[in-house]
Amino acid sequence: MKPRISKDVRILSILFLTVLAMGLRCSAQTPAALNLQLYGGLSITGAVGTVYSVEYVTDLAQTNNASAWRCLEYLQLPASPYLWVDKSAPATGQRFYRAVAFAPPTNMVFIPPGTFRWGSPTNEVDRQVWEGPQTAVTISRGYWMGKYLVTQGDYLALTGNNPSTFTTNNGYSDDLTRPVDRVFWSDATAYCAQLTQRERVAGRIGTNCVYRLPTEAEWEYACRAWTSTRFSYGDDPGYTNLTDYAWYKDNSGMMTHPVGQKLPNPWGLYDMHGNVWEWCQDWYGIYPGGIAVDPQGAVSGTAHVVRGGDWGSLAGDCRSAHRTGGSPPIFFILDFGFRVVLAPGQ
């Protein structure tokens, strides 16, 4: 289904202006320079809570060309009317904007922008030293995230194969609603690229939008869902409630289980704790500490991050902050799966 253009779409032409530094003098004070920066903007009127794809073209003649529009961000309308400001390209040229009501992709949840503490405090029960130092992170733009892990059925339908261990070929019940497992990081990223191509051709996403793995910061932010406790549902010091939210060593029977059977986190995401480890986009590295905006992880490394714990994990390894790195073939990948994110391309 193609995105529907709302009746409340506003297309606004903004000519970015070169801004001059203005020297202001005050009596008996040192002269000061005031630098002003002008940005393009768009007034959006619509249903509060609706997610819009905010898009632009640079050539007015291309406004009727659907493939010419580039998505800047997904915006969940906080008020109506709402003045949205484009801070991505100040004072350099002209852009023409529109806001398109974006139909939610199947089985995806919108994750709003916000801030959180990345990692665990030093006094958290079962904390590991590599879960710090805690970093104050801002996720500046909203994104869509898979409500469920990618299933064996999803993977098979798109790629034509199913690498999973937990199939009838290996003596398990044949259930394609189990999460796909035994995937390398390269398999997961290739799946995302193939999904992106299919959805672009079908006209369901913008020409510059991509399906990809979440960054580690995006993953933990979504997992926590604005909580700061050990799990998205609370601290649970004795792990008495974990069985309601996760498949792990104590209740899994040492196998994967169909997605979505346990309770979701506050943002409606299932299996963020347990079932299979989830690949992230980042190289595994040390947290920066301090303050970070949209961190992308280490610039290089030998292993990519996996998060969330799995069917064979100890309870403490399913905490929101727990992390490890996967580097096949050194690491056993029987329990590695993934979920996808949809966002504008970098």
- End position of a domain, from candidates 71, 103, 135: 103
pLDDT value of residue 33: 44
Spatial separation of the C-alpha atoms in residues 74 and 21, rounded to whole Å:
33
Per-residue pLDDT of 217-243, as tens digits, reads: 999 999 999 999 999 999 999 999 999
Tell me: do 200 and 325 sit in the same domain.
yes
Tell me: do 202 and 218 sit in the same domain.
yes
Tell me: do 287 and 222 sit in the same domain.
yes
Closest by Cα among 196, 167, 160 to 181: 167
Cα 286 from chain centroid (whole Å): 20
Spatial separation of the C-alpha atoms in residues 35 and 322, rounded to whole Å:
44
- End position of a domain, from candidates 103, 118, 139: 103
Tell me: do 67 and 143 sit in the same domain.
no
Is 148 part of a structural domain of the chain? Answer: yes
Is 222 part of a structural domain of the chain? Answer: yes
Spatial separation of the C-alpha atoms in residues 55 and 26, rounded to whole Å:
42
Domains: count for the chain: 2
pLDDT value of residue 100: 93
Write out residues in the chain with pLDDT < 50, as ranges: 1-36, 330
Q: Which domain holds residue 80?
A: 12-103
Tell me: do 150 and 296 sit in the same domain.
yes
Is 1 part of a structural domain of the chain? Answer: no
Tell me: do 85 and 213 sit in the same domain.
no
Tell me: do 303 and 171 sit in the same domain.
yes
The answer to whether 259 and 271 are in contact (CB under 8 A) is: yes
- End position of a domain, from candidates 61, 81, 103: 103
Q: Write down the pTM of the prediction.
A: 0.88
Is 2 part of a structural domain of the chain? Answer: no
Tell me: do 298 and 236 sit in the same domain.
yes
Is 150 part of a structural domain of the chain? Answer: yes
